Homo-oligomer: A and B are copies of this chain.
């Protein structure tokens, strides 16, 4: 399925610590920014670890946003995946990553872009069945 998957790391986050530590606050921020980017949430789940750290996901009609925080290192890893089945949501995915970066205020950030699906790998429905070759 054609789509875009963005994999980001934010380090040295200068936001208020609660954004990294409190699941309810992180959840609220994620939902607000998902809506602001024009994406469509269909559910969300956030989990707090002991002693610190939150992991969470917003399921989207377009696919998902997932985040994992390490408050002790002021690090967040996150990924946004949008399938472009009904419309091209790529711009919204970039907007969401940028908006979250504005909120977490990392000292350093990196974002990898992975194009997924037929366009990316030349798959054709006419391709003959193959044995999986990707296992290391």
- Chain A residues near B (Cβ < 8 Å): 1, 3, 5, 7-9, 11-12, 42-45, 47, 49, 55-57, 59-61, 63-64, 66, 68, 70, 73, 75, 77, 79, 81, 83, 85, 94, 98, 101, 107-114, 116-117, 121, 123, 127, 129-130, 132, 134-136
Contact = CB atoms under 8 A, between A and B. Distances in A.
B112 A127 contact: no
Contacts of A68: 1, 63-64, 81, 83
A81 B79 contact: yes
A131 to B, nearest CB: 9
Copies in the complex: 2
A68 B112 CA distance: 21
A112 B123 CA distance: 14
Contact of A1 (B9, B101, B134, B136): B9
Contact of A45 (B43, B85, B113): B43
B57 A1 contact: no
A85 to B, nearest CB: 7
Contacts of A44: 45
A55 B75 contact: no
17 contacts: A1-B70, A5-B7, A7-B114, A7-B116, A9-B121, A12-B129, A42-B55, A44-B45, A45-B45, A45-B57, A66-B81, A77-B83, A77-B117, A94-B135, A107-B129, A107-B130, A108-B123
